[in-house]
Amino acid sequence: QSALTQPASVSGSPGQSITISCTGTSSDVGGYNYVSWYQQHPGKAPKLMIYDVSDRPSGVSNRFSGSKSGNTASLTISGLQAEDEADYYCSSYTSSSTVFGTGTQVTVL
């Protein structure tokens, strides 16, 4: 159960779009359409942003979108805003558990 691989940091200017990748294997990301993304601000509990690869929970801005190709899932944040500065984690089913990604710190320049 190795953690999924995410870039340590991604940055962008307000209004820009950024994409965070989440790379796994055919035993997790590539094998199931059950990838989720969470946002975590410092000192706060995580918040579900995307589930089942590309679905958004009610109340989550449509600036957040998810996709998957092969063993890599992606989270795109469009129209980047200051409030989007946070840590982001992907997660995926595996055959017998769930695994999180290594986490990506998003900085709004």
Q: Interface residues with other proteins (CB under 8 A)?
A: 1, 3, 34, 36, 38, 40, 45-48, 51-52, 57, 87, 89, 91, 93, 96-103
Smallest separation (angstroms) from other proteins to the CB of 14:
26
Smallest separation (angstroms) from other proteins to the CB of 52:
8
Smallest separation (angstroms) from other proteins to the CB of 106:
14
- By beta-carbon proximity to other proteins, the closer residue of 45 and 109 is 45
Smallest separation (angstroms) from other proteins to the CB of 102:
6
- 5 closest CA partner among 84, 104, 107: 104
- By beta-carbon proximity to other proteins, the closer residue of 40 and 76 is 40
Q: What Cα–Cα distance (Å) separates residue 16 from each residue in 44, 79, 81, 107?
A: 25, 5, 9, 12
- By beta-carbon proximity to other proteins, the closer residue of 52 and 83 is 52
- By beta-carbon proximity to other proteins, the closer residue of 69 and 96 is 96
Residues 50, 43 contacting (CB under 8 angstroms): no
Residues 12, 80 contacting (CB under 8 angstroms): yes
- Specify the 3-state DSSP secondary structure of 84: helix
CB atoms < 10 A from the CB of 49, how many? 21
